[in-house]
A and B are shown apart, each in its own frame.
Chain A
C-alpha cells in the first residue's frame, strides 16, 4: 500500500512538469523490441483459434473471432522476416490503424510506457534502410531500445488493398 502511495506520488510529480508526452505499448518480436502508440491499440489478447486462409502471404496468419468481430491476423515476426511467432505462447495486439481493426501477432507484450516527445530519436538513415519506412523513430526506455512502429505503414497500400479485398472484409 505504501509502495502504491509512493508511486502515485511519483506519478503526480512527473505529471507536474507539463511536457507533451506520448504513451506507447512495448512488445518483443524475437530479440527486438517494438512499440506502438496506445492511441492505435485497442487491446491485448491471448491467441484464440486461428482460421487460416487460402492463397495469402505467409505473414497473414488468418482470421480470429474477437467477440463476434472477425479480424485479420498478421504475424509481425514473419512480416519482419524473423520467422513465425509460436502460436502457443504469443500474444495478439489488436490495433486500429485505420477504419478496420487488425490483429498483430507478437512474441510477448512488455510494458506500457510514457516518453516525452523530445526523447524520440529519428530512425537511422542507412543506405539499405529503404524498408525502414514503417519506423517512426527510436526511443530508449530503461534497458530496452524500442523501435516505434508507424501503425498505418506496416503494410504497403497494395498489401492492404489485397487484404481488404478478401471475402471476409467484403461485409464490412
Chain B
C-alpha cells in the first residue's frame, strides 16, 4: 500500500527533470512557509506581551508619581484618580493604593478577589508580573510612590519584586504604592490579528514562490529542450542547420553553442573522412591498376624465363651431343695414334733394314768379284724390304682411312658446336632484349650527361675566349700607355694623340671589367652544370644497378659463347692437324712407293747380275746410290711420321681441351639453369604476392566503399 503510493508519486517525477525541480521547490516552499508561520506566531506572542507589560509599567510609574502629593496630603483624591483610570481603560480590572506599610488605602475594580491581598509593603521599584486570579491570568503592575528629595527611608526587609537589585539605595522615602491588575483580553485580540497577518504573508509567499519557481524552471529548462532536439537530430544523422537557436551566455547557453560547434566540427570531420576515403578509393584503384600492370609484367617475365630455360636446356643437350662426339673423336685419335706408332715402328725397321742393306751392298761391292752368293742375300734382303714396304703401304692405307674418319668426325663436331654457338647467341639476344628498356634509360641519362658536359665545355671555351680577350685588352692598355708616352714626348703636336690614347685605355679598362663579369657568369654556369651532372649521376646509379643485374645474365651467356668459341677453335685446330697429317701421310705414301720402285729395281738388278761382274759392279754402284737415296727417303719418311705423331699429340690435347671446355660449358649451363630456376621461383612468388596484394586491395576497396556508404548517410555541410 505504502509502496504503491510512493510509486504513484514517483512516476511523474521520474520522467521529467522539470517535475523534479518543481516538486523540490514546492517542498522547499511549504517547509519555508511553515517555519515562517511558527516564527510569526512565537514572535507575535512574545512581542505583544512585552509591549503590554512595558506600557502598563510606564502607566503605573506615571500615575504613581502623580499620586505622590495626594497620598501625603489629599488622600481623598486618590479615589477620583482610581475611578478615572478604571473608566479610561476597560482593561484595568483592579486599581488599588497602599501606604508604606502595605495597608490598602483605596481600591476598586471588577474583580471579586483581587490577587493583591497577599502582598506586603510597597516595593522599591516598579514591576510587572503575570499572576493567576479569579479572572484567569492577569498582569499585576506594582508602582512605588516616592517623595522626591526626601531622606531615604529604610526599606530593607520589605518584600520586593526584584530581589536581584536590593543593593540599590532608595533615593526617596517610600510613601506607598499603586497596584494595577490588567486583564489579558486585548492581548488575545492582538494575537488573532497577528496570526491573520501572518497567514496572509505565508499565502502570498507561497503564491509568489510558485510563480517564481515555474518561471525559473521554464527559463532553466529551455536550453535542455533545445539540446534534446539537437541530440535527436544528430542521432538521426542530421548535422546541418544548428545555428543560433539559443543566444544565452550562461553555462547552458554555452553548452548549446558548443554543441552547435561540435555538430559543425563533426560535420567537417565527416566530410574530411569522406574525402579521405574518396582518396583512399582512388589510391586503391591506382594500386589495383599498377598491380595489374605488375602482374602482367611478372607473367611476361615468367614466360621469358621459361623461354630462356628451354633455350638453356637445348644448349645443354647440344653440349652433351658435342661431348659424345668429342669422346668418339678422342677414341679415334687414340686409334690413329696407335696406328701411327705401329707405322713408325715399321719405318724404323725399314730404316735399320735399309742400313743393313747398305752395309750388305758395300760388302757386296767389295767382295763381288769373289762372292756371288752375296747376290742371293741381297735378293732376299730386297725381298724382305719389299714385304716391309707392302706392309707399310697397307698400314698407310689404314691410317689414311682413319684420318678421313677423323676429318668427318671433326666436321660433325664443328656442326654441333656451331649449333651450341647459335643457341647461346639466341639466349644472349633474349637476355639483351629484356635489358633493352633499362639500357635505353641509361642511354638517355648518358645523353643528358653528355649534353651537360658539352655545355660545361662550351662555357669553358667561352672562358678561354674571354681570357684571350682579356689578354688583348691588357695589350691594348699597354699600347695606349706607350702611345700616351710617345704623345707626351712629341710635345704640343702629340696632345691630341694623347687624348686618343687615353680613350683607348679607358675602353680597354671597361672591356676588362665586362670580361671579368662574363667570367664570373661562366663560373656560375659551370657550377650549375656540375651540380646538374651530380644530380643526374646520383640517379644513374639506380639505372646502373639494374644494368648490372641484367649484365650478370648476359655475362653468363657470354661465358657460354666464349667456351663454344674455344671449342670451335679446337675443332678447327683438329681439322688443320688432320689435314697436316693427311699431307704427311701422302709424303709417306710417296716415299713408300719410291721405296717399292727401288726394291723392284733392286730385284731386277739382281736378276741381271749374271750379265757380268762389270755390269754387276755398275749395278752395285747404282744400288749403292739408290740405297743412299732410299736412306734419305726413309729419314724423310721418319720425319713425316714424327710430324704425324706431333699432329696426333696436338689432336689428342685439343680433344682433351674440348672435352674440358665442354664440361665447363655444361657446368656453366647448369649454373644458368639454376639461376633461371631461382629467377622462375622468384617470379612465381612475385606472382603469388601480387595476387595476394590484389586480393587485399580488393578487400580494401570494399571496405572503402562500405565506409563511403556509411558516410553518405550523414547530412553534412558542403
Contact = CB atoms under 8 A, between A and B. Distances in A.
Interface of A: 3-4, 7-8, 11, 15, 23, 25, 38-39, 41-46, 91, 109, 111-112, 114
A25 B481 contact: yes
Contacts of B501: 112
28 contacts: A7-B499, A7-B502, A7-B503, A8-B499, A11-B498, A15-B495, A23-B488, A25-B481, A25-B484, A25-B485, A38-B489, A41-B489, A43-B485, A44-B478, A44-B482, A44-B485, A45-B478, A46-B474, A46-B478, A91-B478, A109-B478, A111-B481, A112-B481, A112-B484, A112-B488, A112-B501, A112-B502, A114-B488
B496 interface: yes
A11 B499 CA distance: 8
Contact of B485 (A3, A7, A15, A38): A38
Given A44-B481, A112-B502, 14 more contacts: A4-B503, A11-B495, A11-B496, A11-B498, A25-B484, A42-B485, A43-B486, A44-B485, A46-B478, A91-B478, A111-B481, A112-B484, A112-B498, A112-B501
B175 to A, nearest CB: 137
Nearest to B484: A112
Given A4-B503, A7-B502, A44-B478, A39 B496 contact: no
A77 B499 CA distance: 30
A39 B484 CA distance: 12
A11 B505 CA distance: 16
A144 to B, nearest CB: 15
A41 B495 contact: no
Nearest to A25: B485
What DSSP secondary structure best describes chain B's contact surface?
helix
Contacts of B489: 38-39, 41
Interface residues of B, number: 20
A8 B502 CA distance: 11
Interface in B571-610: none
Nearest to B502: A7
A7 B501 CA distance: 12
A3 to B, nearest CB: 8
B77 to A, nearest CB: 142
A104 to B, nearest CB: 13
A43 B485 CA distance: 7
Contacts of B500: 4
Contacts of B496: 8, 11
Residue from B484, B488, B499 whose CB has the most chain A CB atoms within 10 Å: B488
B488 A38 contact: yes
Contacts of B498: 11, 112
Nearest to B494: A23
A8 B500 CA distance: 9
A20 to B, nearest CB: 12
A8 B482 CA distance: 19
A11 B496 CA distance: 8
A113 to B, nearest CB: 9
Residue from A41, A45, A114 whose CB has the most chain B CB atoms within 10 Å: A41
Nearest to B479: A44
A45 to B, nearest CB: 8
A25 B484 CA distance: 9
A11 to B, nearest CB: 5
